[in-house]
Amino acid sequence: MSLDKNSKIYVAGHHGLVGSAIWNNLLQRGYTNLVGRSHKELDLTDQVAVKQFFDDERPDAVVLAAAFVGGIMANSLYRADFIMMNMKIQCNVISEAYAHGVKKLLFLGSTCIYPKNAPQPMKEDCLLTSPLEYTNEEYAIAKIAGLKMCESYNLQYGTNYIAVMPTNLYGPNDNFHLENSHVMPAMMRKIYLAKLIHDGDWEKIAIDLDKRPVEGVDGYGLSRALDNRKRALEVLAKYGIYDNKVVLWGTGTPLREFLWSEDMADASVHILLNVDFKDVIGIEKYSSVHYGASTDGAVDRNHSAGRGGAIPSLGEIRNCHINVGTGKELTIRELSQLVVKAVGFEGTVEFDTSKPDGTMRKLIDVSKLHSLGWTHKVEIEDGVQKLFEWYKDSLA
């Protein structure tokens, strides 16, 4: 089901890390009829508002990149929010996309959907085979529900909704707020601030804290008032940031895979434009089961052969999502060394082993993605340097 250059594409979460990169990737490919709404303009947890948006805009395709996200600390503190907010967003957008005849929908999840002790590298088929990692269980369950919604709508109604599960992402427009950011941007900012404290560069510390305040502490008066500096140091110390020293959570031994966000965007757009549900499940006759009754290719909304998730002639269909990553990994300690090099930090990095590591290994199998015609381009060594350059530019 093809989209032409005039197709109206709604990118939900277009100001975020992935959404902004997808937006730019589509523009670069000549898809200029794009629709986006900021959170202030459209609250995706508000069912009535989402319906009104779809009534007004009638998009041909939807990229669902909006989510309520955070790292280990945020996942632990806001468990109810993580499951409820994400479920509301997904239910509202997917149901209204269906109700308004959207041709194609791309849902972005996360590889945290996989079991804590899943065989490595993790294939799509290991979903729901054993317990999840406790620290992000609610977010994972929400994302599993989202991919199952896509799968089930396809099976019941013949829609063309594809779910992609990216590995850990990093890149331009990343979240560097210490209270709810992911491992790499948090680590990078901590190391950068520890360097600035050691250098006595309070002007740059003030700029940094003005841009992204920490627990209400901003850059006001830091370059002059000693009391303000003392307060800032006390708050930063709570996040493991000291004079020429940074303390990170865990042992440093967990292995992680990272994907440059612009690579993720390129993979997403490749799938949006070139991959249909029948391609993912590898069954050509699926299209004749669901689309054959219509001469114009429109979805037959009354077709019930797939009702209940089973099309007898096709057998059981599940795990139709697509892993998106590099298939490569490194330890958190090795990542810290790359960040130290990029920042030019000459202090020490310590690990607080009393804090949780999270999942010890999270490498995904990307053979399905490769078979669909896409591989990554940016390697981690170059990506870390590029991220730090972007972060410095964001403070200018």
* Contacts of 354 by beta carbon, 8 Å cutoff, 6+ apart: none
pLDDT at 167 over 60: yes
Phi, psi angles (nearest 5°) of residue 88: -60, -45
pLDDT at 52 over 50: yes
pLDDT at 192 over 80: yes
pLDDT at 100 over 60: yes
Residue 73 pLDDT: 64
Confidence of residue 220 (pLDDT cuts 50, 70, 90): confident
* Helix boundaries (H) for 124-260: 137-157, 183-199, 202-211, 226-238
Residue 306 pLDDT: 38
Instruction: Report the percent of the chain where pLDDT is more than 70.
Output: 89
CB-neighbour burial class of residue 346 (10 A; exposed 0-12, middle 13-18, buried 19+): exposed
Q: Which of 10, 139, 242, 291 is catalytic?
A: 139
Residue 300 pLDDT: 45
Residue 67 and residue 284: Cα distance in Å, rounded? Answer: 33
Residue 295 pLDDT: 34
User: What number is the average pLDDT over the span 74-79?
Assistant: 70
CA-closest candidate to residue 325, choices 280, 276, 379, 274? 379
User: What number is the average pLDDT over the span 300-323?
Assistant: 64
pLDDT at 69 over 90: no
Instruction: Tell me what the pLDDT averaged over the chain comes to.
Output: 89
139 labelled catalytic: yes
Name the more confident of 323 and 296.
Answer: 323
Confidence of residue 200 (pLDDT cuts 50, 70, 90): very high
Residue 76 pLDDT: 67
Residue 164 and residue 277: Cα distance in Å, rounded? Answer: 12
pLDDT in tens, 109-158: 999 899 989 999 999 999 999 999 888 899 999 999 999 999 999 999 99
pLDDT at 310 over 60: no
pLDDT at 299 over 80: no
pLDDT in tens, 351-392: 999 998 877 888 999 999 999 999 999 999 999 999 999 999
Phi, psi angles (nearest 5°) of residue 248: -105, 155
* Helix boundaries (H) for the chain: 17-28, 47-57, 72-77, 79-99, 137-157, 183-199, 202-211, 226-238, 261-274, 277-281, 285-291, 332-343, 367-371, 380-394
Residue 367 pLDDT: 97
* Contacts of 207 by beta carbon, 8 Å cutoff, 6+ apart: 219, 395
Residue 291 pLDDT: 43
Instruction: Find out whether the peptide bond into 312 is cis, omega within 30 degrees of 0.
Output: no
Please give the torsion angle defined by the CA atoms of residues 325, 327, 328 and 332, in that order, rounded to the nearest 10 degrees: 60
Q: Any idea what DSSP says for residue 90? A: H
pLDDT at 296 over 80: no
pLDDT at 6 over 80: yes
